[in-house]
Amino acid sequence: MTPPHLNHYLEMWDLSAPQPLAETATSWVYTVVFGGARVVLKLLKPIGVEDEKNGAAALRYFNGQGAVHLLRDDDQAHLLEYADGENLTALVERGEDEKATAIIGDVLNRLHAATGDLPSDDLTPLQVRFRSLFKQAQADSRNGSDSIYVRAARVAEELLSQPCEVRVLHGDIHHYNIRRHSQRGWLAYDPKGLIGERIYDAANTLCNPGGLPELVRNEARLLKNAAILAERLGCDFSRLLAFIYSYACLNASWYMEDGQYQDHSLGVARLVEPHLH
């Protein structure tokens, strides 16, 4: 299906040679030629407008530092720098798992070093991001259950009540969302656009790559890569584990809202829980 507004943006932004790249739940994605270079045109579906607005705010703030450049945008479309190399999953598949984790840490440091006026109106605070976990925990508590959601909510509340190093966050860092650019190295894309403690941005990484579940469920691997990230970010290892634990349960709670049980994320949470202090 050709998006109804494709031709509008080809004309308005002087784009040519559109080639379909992907279709997601929130957008149609094309490569196009702009100013002599091949770039990405993301045409938003109605369901993706609000979510992608926050992502655009984050990309403007990062301004190409550790992330792809946002070249043009409005409420219905984004024009983006194209990182056309391999993603980090390719390194993991070649047996370079720890190298991939170190690269993620380096990309996060670049993102979190961005400076400027915080676009707080277009970013989601972590307290809001965790609402689904808190809602699930409240429901379980009313039923008299000290479930993993209840325990994770207590951890999350403590983390969020005393945030450290608040930054503009990518919000969805994992192996699929970092690609190599031929001239600028490894770059992140598809941010969610959050604001909060920077350690949150390392949490999702340890739940991925989703295509290799046997690695994600390996406790030794999880702890080793958490140690690599903590060292790269210069953050407290125990606090990172607490974020991984609470994030994994948050992810599972999103599935619960859709009537699905998410054993993958809860499996990660159960690996981490015995190591929390």
Q: In this structure, what token pair is assigned to residue 208?
A: 């991925």
Distance in angstroms between the alpha carbons of the first and the last residue of the chain: 52
Amino acid occupying residue 265: S
Strands 27-34 and 16-23, how do they pair?
A: antiparallel
Q: Is 188 strand, coil or helix?
A: strand
Selection from 229, 251, 232 nearest residue 240 by Cα: 229
Q: List 16's β-bridge partners, or say none.
A: 33
Pairwise CA distance, residues 223 & 212, whole Å? 17
Considering the candidates 84, 122, 172, 201, report the single residue annotated as catalytic.
172
Which residues, other chains included, contact 167 with Cβ-Cβ below 8 Å and sequence gap of 6+? 111, 112, 195, 196, 197, 198, 201
Active site (annotated) includes residue 172: yes
Active-site residues, by number, are 172
